[in-house]
Amino acid sequence: MNTYRASVTVRLKIPDPEAVTVGNTVRRMGYPVEDVRLSTRYSISVECGSREEFEQFLGSATSELVNPNKHFGSTRIGRRKRELGEPERFDRSRYPTRVAVTVDGDPEGSRVEGVLRDRYGYATARVSSERVWDLRVDSDNPELVASQLAGEPTYFLANPAFQKARVEG
């Protein structure tokens, strides 16, 4: 058995209401944020006997995570990226600043693990999730703005009582 890993990113097709609200609020407070996008990124690892078995597993996992009627989704295995369903017109280069937020105990990752185990029989599947904020910032130092939004004094993107934020640049 080999351990295979992939990441699955899921984003709403319509503007995410939480991202719109945060964007509007931080602009009113004077932060130089032009736009905010929100997605969920799942990191999945599972022991499988072959690459084909892993591809089948990944199909089951993505069908649980991505509803093609309301989500854009993509998978990444190493450097290879594949769109799920309709391709998203999201230009990552326009959002150079990214903040990833994890929740203590990761209840969403545990829920997905349970579904994969109970519905599909993948007892060795491990899933972690994080919310990813993509920011378009009009500043000479966008990472500083992102760290201010994710941490003190505002905590807009992460609640320090149960979440951890990391600026990915």
In tens, the pLDDT along 81-101 reads: 777 776 667 676 788 899 999
Helix, strand, coil share (%) of the chain residues, nearest 5: 30, 35, 30
Low-confidence ranges of the chain (pLDDT < 50): none
pLDDT, position 103: 95
pLDDT, position 105: 94
Q: DSSP letter string over 18-53?
A: HHHHHHHHHHHTT--EEEEEEEEEEEEEEEESSHHH
List, in order of start, the domains of the chain with CATH numbers. 2-92+106-135 (3.30.1280.10)
pLDDT, position 66: 92
pLDDT, position 134: 93
pLDDT, position 23: 93
- Residue 61 has a CB neighbour count (10 Å cut-off) of 23
pLDDT, position 22: 93
